[in-house]
Amino acid sequence: RKKAQQAARKMMHSGIDLNDMLDQMRQMKKMGPLKDVLAKVPGMSRQLQDVDVDDRMVDRTEAILLSMTPRERRRPEVINPSRKRRIAKGSGMRVEDVNRLLRNFEQTRRLMKQFRKKGVRRRFSGMKMPFS
């Protein structure tokens, strides 16, 4: 619980990096099969009937993340094409898989940034801001 609070605080203040994603993957693995976890989310059990949830996806994502250096996980923008090839080879995956993971991560990062901005605006919504 304390770790979750620290992660939430970090997300709201300084953003997330691939180490956070790796931590999330490990937490998900501890919870059991992905389909069982998602089935516990209200409204998801009906939607999951037709969906094939692949638990190996978590393992594959973790393999890609573990094939990165600590610096690459901290600062994914340093990952150039040759690094992507090395990561793919080290994880037993394809470069396309590495690209997909990085693209999904960037989307998540942008979404978190929007949430942070909206949160700040909401906190100060009652105050008159200069030049607004």
Q: What integer pLDDT is reported at residue 97 of this predicted model?
A: 98
Q: How far apart are CA 104 and CA 125, in angstroms?
A: 31
pLDDT digits (tens, 9 = 90+) for 27-84: 888 888 877 777 777 776 666 666 666 778 889 999 999 999 999 999 999 999 999 9
| 131 within domain boundaries | no
Domain containing residue 91: CATH number? 1.10.260.30
Query: How many domains does the structure of the chain reveal?
Result: 1
Q: Give me the domain span that covers residue 59.
A: 2-123
Q: Which of 15, 8, 48, 55 is closest to 31 using CA atoms?
A: 55
Residue 32 near residue 62 (C-beta atoms within 8 A):
no
Q: How far apart are CA 129 and CA 132, in angstroms?
A: 6
Residue 16 near residue 109 (C-beta atoms within 8 A):
yes
Mean pLDDT of the chain: 81
